[in-house]
Structure 1
Amino acid sequence: MENELYSIGKIGEMCKITKKALRYYDKMGILAPDKVAGESGYRYYSKENLLAVPVIKYYKQSGFKLDEMKEFLNGTTYDSFDKSFRKKIDELRELDREINLKIRSVKDWHNLIVEAQMVIENNICDVTVKYIESSTLIFLEQDFKYDYMDSIINIKFNNYIDSINNAITGPVIISFPSFQDKINGNCSKMRIMQETILKSKEELTIEFGGYMAIACYHIGSHETINETYKKIQQWADTHGYICSEECCERYVTDYWTTKNVDKFVTEILIKVKRKK
């Protein structure tokens, strides 16, 4: 048995590996056959080579590339192993960070799409009072010119996030100093806010929420959002609430998701307190 040679087909059958992979390993100098028969070119492998296949599979499972395996398979020092494995651990940690970032981004965006779909399907446009949980957001003060597309898909804000080596997720939230000025077309300032995936320096962030707010979804174009503000104001007056001047628009779905403005969903949030 020690001297027995196995055909490439037998190796493939025993080790659950394709002939194509074995030929490629040969080409890369990872696993050469012990014998190649004359004109037929049939490859034959010894038991020692046969046992190298599970080792190669394990290195592959661990994230090593074929050229990285070559040194290990040919024999190397423990010091070389240590350096190579430490380097691979660092690479895999960075890969894990990138994958988790992508998963978080896609999951958060999917949640917004589901939220918008439920709002539209159930026509949820009633005014309510709810507690807004506190969160820490990255922010940037900007001028506001009633150009919603430019404000939401915000190039300056995205460049700013890149400059601090961070990534954003969740809905864009824009805060306006006065909802009355905004309704009357006199609003010239805004604060764009969004959650970051990586931790930001404290001086770059702002606390959002942690209070009771009047909330109402607006379905459709941002150009008609004043109608929802007026509905909120009337509801507050009727039910004995005092609205603060500052207001926030939380863009559940917008230009980032669809070009159909009729499918936009925006949640208006205004801090409130009861009249005495």
Structure 2
Amino acid sequence: MLSIGEFSKICQVSTKTLRYYAEIGLINPEEINPENGYRYYSIKQLETMLLINRLKAYEISLEEIKALLQLEKDQFEEKLIVLLNKKKYEIQAKLTVYDMMLQQLSNDMQNLQKGESVFSNLKDLDIMLVEVPAIYILSIRKLVSIEECNLGYEVLFNQLHKRISEDGLTMIGPPMTIYHSEEYLFEGYDIEFAIPVKEYVTGTKDFNPGLCIKTRLKGAYSEITSVYAKQHEWLEQEKYCVTKPPFDVYITNPRETGRSKDFITDVYLPVKKI
């Protein structure tokens, strides 16, 4: 048996935390001396405590860990795999966001070192008024968290490509996203991930944006919000208003292009004259 101090030292968890864990029923001492209240833990509990530490490091909540530890062995292993896969996805999403942020930061520093604005690459953006013809799209609409956005594009577009391949559909344009959220929401964006197809079959739908303003952006996806700002300046100046949700068309594949500064995205905003 190990005293609470010895157990604390081995597992690198404070005695205060161990007492809290016992209070919430996460891990209880194997034995408590009724005379002096001293707490003792068994050697076999070391592995349990180390597992708790590991899962906490993955930002799995104490509630989830407690529920996991209460399961039978076969259920425990199955649930643990589900939790770890979920966290792996979340961490990959965060890494993608940070990687793109670092690339953007480097671009901003280069612009500033040249004596230019961080938005200097946006000053020459053109806004064109275009008529976008009606098409069929195969799509998935989902509420996507901010962290999941970039990784979500890849995962969900892969699902659509798989469906196109399995059903023998004909892709007639690059992937696109349609933004249905009317306002910024902390919990995420209501986004429709879509690929234009030739056939009208179960699962496809009409997409008819009509008259739009279009801006081609060369650079990181994070610059798209700046494009929206410039487009809305144009709307006010030219007396147009928005009629339908905005959408982006991805001319380049980020996995093939590599550097975010070489990404090409067409940004559309359906409009009408006031």
TM-score tier by shorter-chain length is 0.3 to 0.5
Q: What is the TM-score with the length of structure 1 in the denominator?
A: 0.48
Q: What is the TM-score with the length of structure 2 in the denominator?
A: 0.48
**Highest CA radius of gyration, 1 or 2?**
1
